[in-house]
Amino acid sequence: MKKILSIVAATALSVSLLSGCQSNREKTTADIKDSADMTESAVESVTESGITYPYEYTDAAGRTIAIEKEPQAVVTNYLPLWETLILLGVKPIAVSGADNYIKTWDAFSGYDVSGVKDLGASELNLELLAQLKPDMILNQSYDMKNLEIENLEKIGPVAVFGNDTKMDWRLSLREVAKIVNKQDKAEEVIKDMDEKLGADREKLAEKYKDQTVVQFSLMGKDKYYVAYRPDLYDKEKGLGLNVPEGFTQSETYEQISMEALVKMNPDYIFVNVFDGDEPLLEELENNSVWKSLKAVKNEHIYQIDGSGHAASPLATLYTVNFITDKLTAD
């Protein structure tokens, strides 16, 4: 994968999650009931999820946004927010970096991402955005005190999201759902995912009772990044995978050395490799220190697509499925 996560394989989904999302993944915004025919006198409309329009939403920057009706034409400048929309059954009309991710993001496999326009990768195409006339712009920001959304606000309503929803896909689903009127769908998806994690945790618990697992991202030559991802390692809510002694407790990625990896010496290793970085993995495989690892000697090394790096909803689902499938294949 191209490393554009700051703007932002395929494995079978669980039957329960498929049943919850299959009917929605083919939907476009045109399939959602349009409330544009409301007259000015009919100023209030109660939706199936209980929202009464006009509706006010307070975003991560503490801004109050007036939402007159259920958004139909949604755009976003952030990949994880796109993933969230997909699981809520809403296809955005445009996304930053869309062309690249449609071609390379393995977590999208099995979902309808066709026809989503590219708003540009490194810089937002404001001219195209204005032409699209969105009725809602989902904006990812990292500095709430210095927002740069004035140009976006000239084009349409802007809802700002921050680090909380970036790191917590459940919160992301719930917050985005408040904007696109999909609260019931959000809870359904979360319930299905939690049930899947529980079922997969049970599958893995006995078989890998004494085995340790490490997932790390290969981000450059001699650059290995790890994070404690609750969906993978938590014993009550995640897959319950065992981490070796010395593994990080930080949920934010941090770099480790090869020496640290050797000291942990896990039984199984999953390596996130971004598109174009395959030569880095080949070089690693020729490293004599790498070859000394228990997981390498026992052929318990698995290459996972770069989308396995992300903590976003579809990427998390992809990673959970990939790891569970590999560990239960024997």
Specify whether the backbone of 328 is left (phi greater than 0), alpha (psi in -120 to 50) or beta.
alpha
How does 4-14 read in b/e, with b if 16+ C-beta sit within 10 Å? Answer: bbebbeebebb
Q: What is the pLDDT of residue 330?
A: 65
* pLDDT tens readout for residues 37-67: 322 333 344 445 568 889 999 999 999 999 9
Query: What is residue 318's predicted lDDT score, i.e. its pLDDT?
Result: 97
- pLDDT value of residue 73: 97
Q: Which parts of 174-276 are beta strand (E)?
A: 213-220, 223-226, 254-256, 268-273
Let me know how long the chain is.
330
User: Quick check: 27 pLDDT over 60?
Assistant: no
Amino acid at 5: L
- Number of continuous H segments (helices) and E segments (strands) in the chain: 14, 14
d(CA 319, CA 310): 9
CB count, 10 Å around CB of 74? 25
- Dihedral sign, CA of 14, 20, 22, 27? negative
pTM: 0.83
Per-residue model confidence (pLDDT) at position 49: 58
Beta-strand (E) ranges in 14-116? 45-46, 52-53, 55-58, 64-67, 74-76, 94-95
Task: Please state, as a whole number, how many other Cβ atoms lie within 10 Å of the Cβ of residue 153.
Answer: 13
Each residue of 155-179: pLDDT tens digit?
999 999 999 999 899 999 999 999 9
pLDDT at 17: 43
Could you report the per-residue pLDDT of 197-230, keeping only the tens digit for each? 999 999 999 889 889 999 999 999 999 999 999 9
Phi, psi at 315, each rounded to 5°: -65, -40
- pLDDT of res. 193: 97
Domain positions in the chain: 55-181, 197-328
Q: Are strands 213-220 and 94-95 parallel, antiparallel or unpaired?
A: unpaired
Q: How confident is the model at residue 124 (pLDDT cuts 50, 70, 90)?
A: very high
Where are the strands (E) in the chain, listed by range?
45-46, 52-53, 55-58, 64-67, 74-76, 94-95, 117-118, 136-140, 158-161, 213-220, 223-226, 254-256, 268-273, 301-305
Strand, helix or coil for residue 47: coil
Domains 55-181 and 197-328 share a fold: yes
For residue 121, what pLDDT is reported? Answer: 86
C-alpha angle 21-22-25 in degrees, rounded to nearest 5: 80
Sheet architecture: strand order including 213-220: 254-256, 223-226, 213-220, 268-273, 301-305
- Given CA atoms 98, 103, 107, 111 in this order, what sign does their dihedral have? positive
Query: Does residue 207 or residue 295 have the better pLDDT?
Result: 295
* Structure confidence by residue, pLDDT tens digits, 241-268: 999 999 999 999 999 999 999 999 999 9
CATH architecture of 55-181: 3-Layer(aba) Sandwich (3.40)
In contact, 135 and 146? CB cutoff 8 Å: no
CATH topology of domain 197-328: Rossmann fold (3.40.50)
Residue 45 pLDDT: 42
Question: What percentage of the chain reaches a pLDDT higher than 90?
Answer: 79
pLDDT of residue 209: 86
**What is the C-alpha separation between 95 and 121, in angstroms, rounded?**
9
Q: What are phi and psi of 111, to 5 degrees?
A: -115, 150
Residue range 73-88: mean pLDDT, rounded: 97
> Which pLDDT value is given to residue 20?
37
User: Using N-to-C axis directions, what is the helix angle for 169-180 and 183-207, rounded to 10°?
Assistant: 160
